[in-house]
Amino acid sequence: MLMTMIVVLVVSGALLIGAAWGLFGKLPGKVEGFLIAVAGGSLVLSLVSELIEPSIEKSSLHVATAGVAAGALVFAVVDYLIDEHWGSDSGGGMLAAITLDGIPENLALGVALIGAQPLQVAALAGSIFLSNLPEAAGGAREMGEKGRSRGQVFLLWAATAAILSAAAIGGNVLLEGASEHLLAFIRCFAAGAVVASLATEVFPKAYQEDHHLAGIATALGVVLAFLLGELGGA
């Protein structure tokens, strides 16, 4: 449990590091886009290898398929409601928008750590850590440009990190001992939500920032996840 908490806190802590980077440092758009694409490519492979494939092996293809579809659908509906009805520029809407992307990832991490050593989910943890850095940096910079103080912006990202840590640790604690079918569905539900997030938020932003290198960066991310997965399987 201690190692699980350490992994979760380190991964969520990347949001604070990224927020500080965006508020006090410089993050060129092309660098941000490149990092986002690397993280996206890494997440694609780690979702398949550490969430979907194990779920199929331990449960069934039908359960895994239903979970992925349900996760993508729920993400799309909630994302639509935030954008069209709540408004992502309001305080609550902004917090909801930035946690919507992170909760599935961190829930997936918490569930993946059930009965596993941290190195066994190294690709997933590393991918989430890598995606948190540019996401928080770019988001914090944009919030600052809209007139919010650095203190307000950093507190908002700190709240986000706390919520996401709670999602990961809560998923790990509450679901320990659950049936393999339920765990498989939840893993794949989280994976489906993350895939929907990649399609609507991550890759479009990476392409917008630098469409020439977005494909190369995504491929590098896949290679990185593969190498981290080999480390976990060693």
Least confident of 66-75, 118-127, 145-154, 190-199: 118-127
How far the first Cα of the chain sits from its last, in Å, is: 22
Whose CA is closest to 231, among 123, 127, 130, 129?
123
Which pLDDT belongs to residue 61? 95
pLDDT at 234 over 70: no
Stretch 3-16: mean pLDDT, rounded?
A: 86
Which pLDDT belongs to residue 110? 84
DSSP 68: H
Domain edges within the chain: 2-233
Phi then psi dihedrals of residue 25, to 5 deg: -115, -165
Phi then psi dihedrals of residue 61, to 5 deg: -65, -35
pLDDT at 83 over 80: no
Q: How far, in whole angstroms, is CA 19 from its chain's centroid?
A: 15
Give the pLDDT confidence of 126-180 residue by residue, as tens digits: 888 888 888 888 888 888 887 788 898 899 889 888 888 888 888 888 888 889 9
pLDDT band, very low/low/confident/very high, at 232 (cuts 50, 70, 90): low
Which pLDDT belongs to residue 93? 53
pLDDT band, very low/low/confident/very high, at 78 (cuts 50, 70, 90): confident
pLDDT at 86 over 70: no
Query: 107 with 190: CB under 8 angstroms?
Result: yes
Q: Which residue has the higher pLDDT, 98 or 93?
A: 98
